Amino acid sequence: MIAVSTLVFFIGLGGVLIRRNLITMLMGIELMLNAVNINFVTFNHYLFPHRLEGHFFALIVMAIAAAEAAVAIALIINIYRKFATVSVDDVDELKY
Amino acid sequence: MFAILATVIIAFSILSVIERKILRAAIYLLFVLVATAGLFYMMNYQFLAGVQLILYAGGIVVLIIFSILLTSQINSKLDRPKKTHLFSAILTAMGGIGLSVITIFQFAFVPTPAVAAEVNMRTIGLQLMGTGEQGYALPFEVISILLLAALVGTIFIARKK
């Protein structure tokens, strides 16, 4: 179980690193958050089955992921309006 | 059952990262999230599985697909990543996997003898609004403030100038 979530986390990390497109990077971040959720729930279920801390933590992570995705997509749409692209290489106005 | 779900999760997460058609990558992400809901269901957390399906599969993936359709051509392909980028990303991921797996297998996990709590809607509701021992009212309220802030912020960012 933990091995699965480890693999998914680092696959997501690799996805964030190899892609230059904002939306695919966001998808990589979602994969990582999902892996963290699997971890919390697994620890809750196998090591502390009499409490529900991991369960509620996973719920809160999900709520934050939803808020984060909404804000990120609003930003991406706004960037697309301004630059007509979603590639991070072309959005470099603040870089220099 | 666990083997099937684990295979689906890992295979589709790899596919969603290496797929070059962006809409297909989003659909593979949907499969990963649905299989994760199955994993939660397998561990008897039905409420969490339901929330995962509604929020991730129903909400976030739809948002991502909408933004893909708004920002790119339907069958446009992503550029092939640079060799150095690809190589360093794979190296980072492999290094991280190795380090984590070594750490996990060195640690002896001790299961508690405590009997498993029954996870039904009544317990979840009482704990989510409880203020005493094992009560999560404060995080719940903080989350609601955060959602309000995200709502206002998103409207402000995405409004027409």
Q: Which residues contact B123 (CB under 8 A, 6 or more apart)?
A: A52, B117
Compute the distance between CA of residue B36 and CA of residue B9 in angstroms, rounded to an integer.
Answer: 7
In the prediction, which pLDDT does B161 show? 66
Query: Which residues of B are less than 8 Å from A90 in CB distance?
Result: none
Query: What secondary structure letter does DSSP report for A19?
Result: -
Q: What pLDDT digit, counting tens, does each position of A39-69 carry?
A: 899 888 888 888 888 888 999 999 999 999 9
CA distance A75 to chain B (A): 7
| CB contact at 8 A, A30 and B57 | no
Domain interval for residue B127: 118-161
Does residue B89 sit within a domain? no
Instruction: Return the pLDDT at B144.
Output: 92
Exposed/middle/buried for residue B79 (C-beta within 10 Å: 0-12, 13-18, 19+): exposed
Does B3 share its domain with B65?
Answer: yes
Residues of chain B with pLDDT under 50: none
Residues B61, B127, single domain; the answer is no
In a domain, B15, yes or no: yes
In chain B, the number of structural domains is 2
Q: How confident is the model at residue A91 (pLDDT cuts 50, 70, 90)?
A: confident
Lowest mean pLDDT among A2-11, A57-66, A87-96: A87-96
Structure token digits, residue A62: 């999900």
The domain that holds B66 is classified in CATH as 1.20.120.1200
B108 in contact with A at a CB cutoff of 8 Å?
A: no
CATH class of domain segment(s) A2-83: mainly alpha
Which chain A residue shows the shortest CA-CA distance from B120?
A52
Does residue B96 belong to any structural domain of this protein?
no
Check whether residue B127 and residue B68 sit in a common domain: no
C-beta of residue A62 within 8 angstroms of C-beta of residue B56? yes
Task: Identify whether residues B14 and B67 lie together within a single domain.
Answer: yes
- CB pair distance less than 8 Å for B71 and A77: yes
Q: Select from A34, A63, A64 the Cβ nearest to the Cβ of B32.
A: A34
**Residue B69 belongs to a domain:** yes
Count contacts between A and B (CB, < 8 Å).
200
Distance from C-alpha of A69 to C-alpha of A27, rounded to nearest angstrom: 9
Q: Angle at CA A37, nearest 5°, toward A32 and A41?
A: 150
